[in-house]
Structure 1
Amino acid sequence: MDRQKVILVMIDALGDAAARAQCGYLMGLVEAGQARLWRMQAVLPSLSLPAYTSLHSGTAPAEHGLVSNDLQAMAPAPHVFSVVREAGGVTAAVAERLYALLFNAAPFDDVEHLDVTDGPGWVTHGRFYTEVRHTRFNPSMPGDHDICNSATLLLRRHAPDYLLVHSAAADAVGHAFGADSFEYRHQVWNMDNELALAIPVWRAAGYRVLVTSDHGMSAEGRHGGAEADMRPVPFWDICGPEICGSDGGEREGTVSQLAVAPTILKIMGLPIPQSMRTPPLV
């Protein structure tokens, strides 16, 4: 499939305010006109599984039906993974187990579904991790350095057309310490620092890089509802001067999270399903 290739970086529980305050590398790209930044409104409920599905299907939880993290079901097609695969493309992901459940197999098997190469599901190549036995004192999260390097390795070995890179560490730390904590702010910065090392490598390989989140995090370590800190998230388009031209920088207003899926497909030059009714951002 000879099309523009895309990497979507999903930083779990990265609120818009924390992103703008702590993500010096990404904000530096915006300031230099090499990226575009939107303030984005997450879907309701502001939970991971509903948002993961909406980010890739372009439909709201009330429509796609996956409204709780406790559900064990695959996401209904069409979605980004299905459209890319049906067009003959290769997909890949380094992500938490919920993505394998949604887009490869339900229920998730902690052994069989952790590592997938040339698999039959919507995610062709997957490196998945779990949060089993997660506690405040043992977040059980793989390091962001390892996540980004695993993504680079998938890129080198398989050259996927669409690659999802998902870090769940900010979510784990936010639940443990709250969004108004040193620990959460430092974790947000840490992922930004890893992206400063990884994004130039990915862009040199010909990928358009998008960065966003599923939901925010409250000061008391919660999300799921409509409180002020739970829904606003950032959306960066690392377009570079060759694409951005004089059109880089911050955008006014707030856009819908349902725009992410059609934006990915628009960039890739793939057909946008009729179910994705929100216009793409580019």
Structure 2
Amino acid sequence: MSNKLAFIMLDGLRYDTAISQMGYLHHLIEMGKASRFKVKSELPSLSRPLYEVLLTGTPVYKNGITSNQTVRLSHEESLFHLTNKAGLKNATASYYWVSELYNSAPFHPMTDRIQLNTEKAIQHGIFYWEDHYPDSHLFSDANFFMDQYEPDFLYVHSMNIDNDGHLFTADSKEYRNRVIAVDILLANILPKWMEAGYQIIVTADHGMNHDGQHGGTTAADRDVPLFIITDKMKHGIYEEVIPQLQIAPLACELLKIQPSSAMQKLSFPKLK
């Protein structure tokens, strides 16, 4: 396997729902092709702050992205900046807040949806701005970049699980069925990406509670899954709780690039 990485972030996916509903990913675990961990998200368990946590490996008090209303470019080095610095190609199919963090803010839907500029931190991007933008379209957007540019780092940010959680709560058939639907999308696309030599990370920013919200300190808000497909790890189900700040340095290790000086030192179990 190469050092290429596809990082898939499923917004609003609770740990326990991932365990009960994601049959394809657990098939890969049973067959010795993937690993599963539990991640404890940073606080506050809100979307934009945790996008910054996942992509820069820095805590909220340091990076200053403290709420969903903090609309500005990041002051930190993200995985997009670091892949650029290392001479690698990157791409993303993501919610528009990712563009606002790493390419330009504020986001203008009529001009900023498709961004192809290798001088920017995000070299190739397709961005959506409606939370119900279909995940099926999103993964098609991501696969376009995979086919056309063969990026070393591909970041895919799905929103439908979070949207259904807010509309129907985490304790609903709609939320659970949406998680199944995303697992089916992964079952249709991951074999191709794995065959192309990509390592895979699948995780979430935060969970979802029974009021259809997140932002607090409960396990429902903070506990999210982490699935990893790589030949650099002994696969299985592990009970270690991984700090969310470890995910960015893990991505750097899988990509074989230098992490930023602001990231924690990588201390990840089961890496070879």
Secondary structure of 2:91's aligned partner: strand
Secondary structure of 1:127's aligned partner: strand
| CA positional deviation for 1:243 | 4.7
Q: Quick one: which amino acid aligns to residue 240 of structure 2? A: G
Secondary structure of 2:264's aligned partner: coil
Q: Quick one: which amino acid aligns to residue 275 of structure 1? A: A
1:46 aligns with 2:45: yes
The alignment covers a number of residue pairs equal to 268
Structure 1 match to 2:161? 170
In 2, Cα distance between the equivalents of 1:184 and 1:93? 25
Structure 2 match to 1:136? none
Q: Quick one: which amino acid aligns to residue 72 of structure 1? A: V
Q: Quick one: which amino acid aligns to residue 184 of structure 1? A: Y
Contact 1:32 1:249 in 2 (8 A): no
1:206 aligns with 2:193: no
- Relative to the length of structure 2, the TM-score reads 0.95
In 2, Cα distance between the equivalents of 1:202 and 1:59? 29
In 2, Cα distance between the equivalents of 1:75 and 1:232? 25
Q: Residues 117 and 202 of structure 1: is their aligned pair in 2 closer, same or farther, counting only changes over 3 Å?
A: same
Q: 2:243 aligns with which of 256, 271, 275?
A: 256
Secondary structure of 1:229's aligned partner: helix
In 2, Cα distance between the equivalents of 1:25 and 1:77? 35
Structure 2 match to 1:197? 188
> Residues 1-282 of structure 1 correspond to what in structure 2 (within 5 A)?
4-131=3-130, 141-239=132-230, 242-244=231-233, 247-281=234-268, 282=271
Contact 2:45 2:216 in 1 (8 A): yes
Identical aligned pairs, as a percentage? Answer: 33
In 1, Cα distance between the equivalents of 2:29 and 2:265? 24
Any idea what the Cα deviations from partners look like across 1:16-41, whole Å, max 9, x if unmatched? 00000111101111122210111000
CA RMSD, Structure 1 to Structure 2 (Å):
1.3
In 2, Cα distance between the equivalents of 1:104 and 1:216? 27
Q: Quick one: which amino acid aligns to residue 115 of structure 1? A: I
In 1, Cα distance between the equivalents of 2:129 and 2:97? 8
Structure 1 unpaired stretches of 5+: 132-139
In the TM superposition, structure 1's runs of 4+ consecutive aligned residues that sit over 4 Å from their partners are none
Secondary structure of 2:221's aligned partner: coil
| CA positional deviation for 1:76 | 1.8
Structure 2 unpaired stretches of 5+: none
| CA positional deviation for 1:119 | 4.6
Secondary structure of 1:92's aligned partner: strand
| CA positional deviation for 1:280 | 4.8
Secondary structure of 1:112's aligned partner: helix
- Relative to the length of structure 1, the TM-score reads 0.92
Secondary structure of 1:120's aligned partner: coil
Q: Quick one: which amino acid aligns to residue 115 of structure 2? A: V
Q: Quick one: which amino acid aligns to residue 29 of structure 2? A: V
| CA positional deviation for 1:77 | 2.4
In 2, Cα distance between the equivalents of 1:175 and 1:249? 32
